[in-house]
Amino acid sequence: MNAEEQPPPPENLRMTLEALLLVAEAPPTIRMLARATGASTSEVESALSAMEADDSGGIRLRRHEDTFALVSAPEAAPYVERLLGLDTPPRLSKAALETLAVIAYHQPVTREQIERVRGVGASGVIRSLRSRDLIAPSGRLDTPGQPLLWSVTPRFLDHFGISALDQLPPLDQLEPPAEQAVLPLEPGVEQ
Share of the chain above pLDDT 90, in %: 40
- Whether the per-residue pLDDT at 2 is higher than 90: the answer is no
Start-end of H helices in 27-90: 30-37, 41-53, 77-83
Q: Which residues pair with 61 in a beta bridge?
A: 70
Q: What number is the average pLDDT over the span 163-182? A: 65
Q: What number is the average pLDDT over the span 100-113? A: 90
Q: Long-range pairs for 169-172 at CB < 8 Å and ≥24 separation?
A: 171/105
Angle, helix 94-106 to helix 111-118, in steps of 10 degrees: 120
Fold of 94-168: Arc Repressor Mutant, subunit A (1.10.10)
Fold agreement between 13-76 and 94-168: yes
Looking at residue 23, its pLDDT comes to: 94
Q: What number is the average pLDDT over the span 95-124? A: 90
Q: What number is the average pLDDT over the span 97-102? A: 90
Q: Is the pTM of this model over 0.85?
A: no
* Rounded Cα–Cα distance for residues 101 and 19 (Å): 34
* Rounded Cα–Cα distance for residues 83 and 97 (Å): 26
Fold of 13-76: Arc Repressor Mutant, subunit A (1.10.10)
Name the pLDDT band for 176 (thresholds 50, 70, 90): low
* Rounded Cα–Cα distance for residues 36 and 9 (Å): 9
The answer to whether the beta carbons of residues 106 and 146 sit under 8 Å apart is: no
| Three-state DSSP class for residue 70 | strand
Q: What number is the average pLDDT over the span 37-59? A: 94
* Rounded Cα–Cα distance for residues 162 and 157 (Å): 5
- Whether the per-residue pLDDT at 172 is higher than 90: the answer is no
pLDDT digits (tens, 9 = 90+) for 63-82: 888 899 999 888 888 888 88
Domain ranges of the chain: 13-76, 94-168
If we measure between CA atoms, which residue out of 160, 148, 177 comes closest to residue 71? 160
- Whether the per-residue pLDDT at 181 is higher than 60: the answer is no
Looking at residue 167, its pLDDT comes to: 84
Q: What number is the average pLDDT over the span 52-72? A: 90
* Rounded Cα–Cα distance for residues 41 and 48 (Å): 10
Q: What number is the average pLDDT over the span 75-90? A: 77
pLDDT digits (tens, 9 = 90+) for 155-164: 888 888 887 8
Share of the chain above pLDDT 70, in %: 85
